[in-house]
Amino acid sequence: MTMSGGGGPLRVVLIGPESTGKTRLVKNLAIHYDIPWSPEYAREYVEGAKGSVEYSDVEAIGRGQRAVEDEALGKAARLGRPLVVLDTDLVSTAVYSRHYYGDCPEWIEWEAGERLADLYLLLHVDVGWVADGSQRAQPERGGELFERFRSALEELDAQVCEIRGVWRERQQHAIECVDRLVSRTTPHGGKQLN
């Protein structure tokens, strides 16, 4: 696993199928720890494209995702925060690209491994699916997509905490996982939260 050993903030990524509460949870974690967060760029891109996205759009989504991650990391560094939470990352871009199009641009898969986060919070599909305009599709394939995320993270040898249960349980378990990450890095890297 690649750690944020260069002195930068630790990166925690919320990842998993759509309609599992990633955006809600990432915002709650950002408030809880008083740290910057990044949105899921694909959501913004799909809204701008009015739901019509093709394989040819994946590279632009990947570049946009990388940019919002870098912006959050830069903000955390400027504020002296030891941690940042990201609403998905390039691993998610690669998984969705392969899920919907059967392929993924090589550079996205390569960078997903190179930019591997310190911790992934993998959200299960055990909550009610909520339609979200033109963005969310195929709720019946949530379990299949969850397994794609799990497999991708295993292949990358990523550090993962699986998050399940009702909203309160999800948030509590996510906080426990992040606290464990921070406590393991504090003696070595001197990174502490407020």
Residue 92 lies in a domain: yes
Local mean pLDDT, 10-residue blocks, the chain (194 residues)? 58 91 94 96 85 90 96 95 96 95 97 96 75 50 84 96 92 96 66 39
- Residues facing 38 on adjacent strands: 86
Residue 132 lies in a domain: yes
Place of tokens 């309609």: 19
Residue 174 lies in a domain: yes
In what side-by-side order are the strands of the sheet with 160-163? 37-38, 83-87, 10-15, 119-123, 160-163
**Residue 107 CA from chain centroid, whole number:** 18
User: What DSSP line would sit under 48-88, residue for residue?
Assistant: HTTT---GGGHHHHHHHHHHHHHHHHHHHHHHT-SEEEEE-
What integer pLDDT is reported at residue 141 of this predicted model? 60
Residue 95 lies in a domain: yes
Residue 5 lies in a domain: no
Cα–Cα distance between 38 and 8 in angstroms, integer?
A: 16
Q: Where are the alpha helices (DSSP H) in the chain?
A: 22-33, 41-48, 58-79, 90-101, 106-114, 142-155, 167-189
Find all residues with CB under 8 Å of 91, minimum gap 6, and list them: 13, 15, 112, 116, 120, 149, 152, 153, 156, 158
CATH of residue 99's domain is 3.40.50.300
Among 174, 188, 155, which Cα is nearest to 3's? Answer: 188
Domains identified in the chain, total number: 1
Residue 194 lies in a domain: no
Whether the CB-CB separation of 90 and 115 falls below 8 Å is answered with yes
Residue 155 lies in a domain: yes
What integer pLDDT is reported at residue 184 of this predicted model? 85
Residue 2 lies in a domain: no
What integer pLDDT is reported at residue 127 of this predicted model? 61
Instruction: Provide the whole-model pTM.
Output: 0.86
What integer pLDDT is reported at residue 144 of this predicted model? 85
Query: Domain residues for 135?
Result: 10-186
